[in-house]
Amino acid sequence: MRVAVFSTKPYDEEYFERYRSQKDLEFIYFEASLNHHTANLTKGFDAVCVFVNDKVDGRTLKSLANHGVGLIALRCAGFNNVDLEAARAHNIKVVRVPAYSPEAVAEHAVALILTLNRKTHKAYNRVREGNFSLNRLIGFNLYKKTVGVIGTGKIGATFCHIMKGFGCRIIAFDKYESDELKQLGVEYKPLDEVFKEADMLSLHCPLTPDTRHMINKDSLSLMKDGVMIINTSRGGLIDTADIIKGLSSRKIGYLGIDVYEQEENLFFQDLSESIIEDDMLLRLNSFPNVLITSHQAFFTKEAMEEITHTTLNNIHEFKEGRSLTNEVV
């Protein structure tokens, strides 16, 4: 069975080659991302393996079907980049890695909070240049602050546990409330109440038509002045133009994002010698209270191992005609 791996980085190949035990699975690695332009590369393959920014839309799926590709193996949890209806229509199965390490992402959200708050990134640079001044490095105690968590699935729940350890009050919104989290002391509230009461807001729900641009001028108007917003989920949850206005007006005190709505042509690449043409990203980067990482929240050794094992298992199940444990339906 031949698998075309798209958006390959050196670490993807390293992990697949380390754990790929069966010789009858042939992996061919492409640096290019999968979209309707690159779909021609899939001729002669049985499966494709894709990541968060591959665009598996109707046109791409039509080409895949014409080439006889029967499986899309996502090496991530989110599947908002796949047109599931078109996949069904072409009888192409879609599998994903539903949970590889909620700790990896939740811990990165906490890293963004701590860095923005205590400004360790600025302190590091200052001290290396012999500047030992504390001016403008003042932070705030997390203890007793109110954290609003939107989406209390695997990552959101892990995040709640960590923030509880800091002594925060945790309020949350999810369509499905967790009894386990209620026992931990998490208070579920309507979404607007969470927006109103949170000192820090962390987004952990998927990107769907319902959640797209949930952070916009209307929701911002409900929030406390100086609110901290953390997004490690999907860029599309935030209306970037509105958030830039919120930063300019000082409504938003801190913004930490690991995802960005227009990230697909930027993130995961070294563009340090290129002219970046995304004016919104450049504007965001110009604020001293904004911290952007390029979709690295998942990126721990433990998560890479789990992603690799689950993806290989997903592909083996398909190859052997077994029922697909992690099928997206």
Q: Is residue 263 among the annotated active site residues? A: yes
Q: Judged by CB under 6 A, does residue 297 bind ligand NAD?
A: yes
Measure the CA–CA gap between 51 and 79, rounded to whole angstroms: 9
Is 46 an interacting residue with respect to ligand NAD (CB under 6 A)?
Answer: no
Ramachandran category for residue 154: left, alpha or beta (phi over 0 → left; psi -120 to 50 → alpha): alpha
Query: From the CB of residue 103, how many other CB atoms can be counted at a distance below 10 Å?
Result: 17
Q: Measured from the CB of residue 206, what is the shortest distance to ligand NAD in angstroms?
A: 3
- The amino acid that residue 37 corresponds to is H
Choosing from 254, 267, 298, 318, the residue that interacts with ligand NAD (CB under 6 A) is 298
Subset of 48-107 contacting ligand NAD (CB under 6 A): 77-78, 99, 102, 105
Give yes or no: 295 in active site. yes
Calculate ∠ Cα 214-155-202, nearest 5°: 40
Other CB atoms within a 10 A radius of the CB of residue 158 amount to 21
Quick one: tokens of 189?
Answer: 């509230």
DSSP code, position 41: G
When asked if residue 154 is in the footprint of ligand NAD (CB under 6 A), the reply is yes
Residues 234, 261, 264, 317: which is the catalytic one? 234
Q: Which is nearer to ligand NAD, 63 or 152 (CB)?
A: 152
Q: Considering the rule CB under 6 A, would residue 198 count as an interface residue with ligand NAD?
A: no
Cα separation values, 234 from 44, 88, 239, 245, Å: 33, 24, 11, 20
Which of the ranges 19-27, 125-133, 146-154, 242-250 carries the binding residues for ligand NAD, by CB under 6 A? 146-154
Closer residue to ligand NAD in complex, CB, 69/215: 215
The residue number whose beta carbon is nearest to ligand NAD equals 153
Q: How far is the CB of 210 from ligand NAD (least distance, A)?
A: 5
- For the bound state, the minimum distance from the C-beta of residue 142 to ligand NAD, rounded and expressed in Å, comes to 21
What are the tokens at 245? 């206005």
Check if 204 is active-site: no
Cα 155 from Cα 308, distance rounded (Å): 19
Residue nearer to ligand NAD on the CB measure, 298 or 318: 298
CA atoms within 13 A on the CB side of 139: 16
Q: Which residue among the candidates 261, 263, 264, 317 is catalytic per the annotation? A: 263
Q: What is the rounded distance in angstroms from the CA atom of residue 181 to the CA atom of residue 164?
A: 10
Position 202 contacts ligand NAD (CB under 6 A): no
Of 141-149, 217-225, 229-237, 270-278, the window that binds ligand NAD (rule: CB under 6 A) is: 229-237
Helix locations, 52-184, DSSP H: 58-66, 84-89, 102-118, 120-128, 154-165, 179-184
Find how far residue 187's CA is from the centre of its chain: 25
Among 56, 198, 259, 284, binds ligand NAD (CB under 6 A): 259
Pick the binder of ligand NAD from 38, 53, 232, 311 (CB under 6 A). 232
Q: How far is the CB of 123 from ligand NAD (least distance, A)?
A: 25
Residue the block writes with tokens 């931990």: 184
Q: Which positions are catalytic?
A: 234, 263, 295
Residue ranges binding ligand NAD (CB under 6 A): 77-78, 99, 102, 105, 150-156, 173-176, 204-207, 210-211, 232-234, 258-259, 295, 297-298
